[in-house]
Structure 1
Amino acid sequence: MGRVKFIEIDQLKIAYNVVGTGKPVVLLHGWGCEANIFKSVLDTLSSTHQVFALDLPGFGLSENPPTAWDASDYAKLISLFLDKLNISKVNLIGHSYGGRISIVLATEEVEKVNKLILVDSAGIIPRRNTNYYIRICMAKIGRLMRHCGTLGNRIADRIVHQVGSKDYQEAGAMRATLVKSVNQNLRPLLPKIQAPTLLIWGENDTDTPVSDGKIMEEEIPQAELVVLDNAGHYSFLDQFHQFCQIVSKFLE
């Protein structure tokens, strides 16, 4: 995968890997992950491309963002990263939360994205049911309990454990960024994507279901959806060889 390098962007130290030569490809990981999750993909694609994999701010070896960020803030950082490395046009691969960032970048920096690959991508806000609003109400109660001393904090911790998602429970200092990001509806941006787009989904993905991929296929002008059998939210790991074959052909 190559030795980790560091670059400073807007006073943030960002860790990244780069291997290979050829047209540039940038890999953006999902929430709670880091660049290393793409090691095998990076090594494979580097035989034909120059491949970059970043630790997004708040993950891996990169520094935390100074405030609560959303996908637009991350997209601005990726744009500055490309500028610093004199990359004028890139093939972009985003998994899950990295897909969110990729969608924003592909609409706000149209001229910089050659081809777009969204893998089990986030960005579609699911339909809210009664249980969702109950959890929101409980979360608000939990925040109020934080002002009630030691006992209040214990009750608040218990509420977080019961109603918070795994990502929310483990987010720590990044919790405000997570909340800001998941409430950002990117669906209105989909028709604005001009780059040829490949959508790759695991048929058993329960985090971002295939129905999200079908919406994206319908609303992104030049999009094609490929659903991988016997694969979940990390379809690029579950069906690694098939994934790399599909991606390599698309990038030709």
Structure 2
Amino acid sequence: MNITVQNIRTNYTVSGEGEDVLILHGWGSNLTVHNQMAAYLAPHYRVYALDMPGFGETPEPPAAWDVDHYVDFVLEFIREMGIRSVILIGHSFGGRVIIKMVTRQNLSVTFPKLILIDSAGILPKKTLKQKCKIRIYKLGKKILNISIVKKLYPDALEKMRAKSGSADYNAASPLMRQVLVKVVNEDLTPYLASIPSPTLLIWGELDTATPLADGQLMEKLIPGAGLVTVKGAGHFSFLESSYLVHKVIGSFLNIKE
């Protein structure tokens, strides 16, 4: 299904009946990765999932958005759907958007419960080696952007990016690379203590993208949060151990099966 949100033709799905649930996907992903979860919840809830701008079948945003732009976008989607109260489920980048959204003041929508799965939002401290690598990259970028150097070595900058950038960065378009840089460099740790809703944290024990330590910190800082660690799972714990994750979510939402 499609709806226009902020002049962007937005792809979304809706299934089931009952209290509203909205699922937000992670970076580089799309709503289809949550099909199993939506199918599990649909007999008990009205489940919405959407492709956020720049992912799946929803076009890129008109400019290099930051987290607040995505929050504005999701809130407008919620208004367009006529939702007044919604349970939020977010994986990775989706969790980042949720953290910032629920700490906004004077909203016309309420969030009775939150589920954050391998959520992003905590800015890791850079090691000395990482700091040196960033400095070298920035210096190289300056040199390779000089006109004469560009003419002599037209592919050098892209090759350097491919060598230095993360898999997400290298896979993204030029615009979405700018978005990625903006969102990953914002530390949402100061917002965690202000999250007002009961929060379930689900984390893959072996997650390397958003380490388990991030989940443990979130449990400590979010009032009333509880953390469930999924043994042997990585960043996509909800896919790797879907049965367990669904049971944990069902217990948190008091689903009677």
TM-score by length of 2: 0.93
Q: Using the TM superposition, give the Cα deviation of residue 71 of structure 1 relative to its aligned residue in structure 2, in angstroms.
A: 1.5
Deviations 1:109-160 (A, max 9, x none): 5652111110000000011112221232233134321333244432212211
Q: Aligned match of 2:187 in 185, 188, 207?
A: 185
Whether 2:154 is the aligned partner of 1:156: answer no
Q: Aligned match of 1:98 in 76, 94, 98?
A: 94
Q: Aligned match of 2:246 in 238, 244, 247?
A: 244
Structure 1 runs not aligned, ≥5 long: none
Amino acid at match of 1:237: L
SS at match of 1:153: coil
Q: Aligned match of 2:37 in 41, 61, 64?
A: 41
Q: Aligned match of 1:53 in 38, 49, 52?
A: 49
Amino acid at match of 1:47: P
Is residue 138–residue 163 contact of structure 1 (8 Å, CA) maintained in 2?
no
CA distance in 2, matches of 1:217, 1:35: 26
Amino acid at match of 1:118: L
CA distance in 2, matches of 1:51, 1:150: 52
Q: What does 1:1-252 correspond to in 2, within 5 Å?
A: 5-108=1-104, 111-144=109-142, 145-147=144-146, 148-172=149-173, 173-252=175-254
Q: Residues 230 and 155 from structure 1, CA distance in 2 versus in 1: closer, same or farther, beyond 3 angstroms? A: same
Deviations 1:84-105 (A, max 9, x none): 1110110000000111001011
CA RMSD of the aligned region, Å?
A: 1.3
SS at match of 1:118: strand
CA distance in 1, matches of 2:89, 2:95: 7
Q: Residues 48 and 130 from structure 1, CA distance in 2 versus in 1: closer, same or farther, beyond 3 angstroms? A: same
Instruction: Report how many aligned residue pairs link the two structures.
Output: 248
CA distance in 1, matches of 2:251, 2:66: 32
TM-score by length of 1: 0.95
Amino acid at match of 1:146: N
Amino acid at match of 1:197: T
Deviations 1:161-200 (A, max 9, x none): 2211111111113100000000011000000000000000
Is residue 18–residue 51 contact of structure 1 (8 Å, CA) maintained in 2?
yes
CA distance in 1, matches of 2:169, 2:145: 17
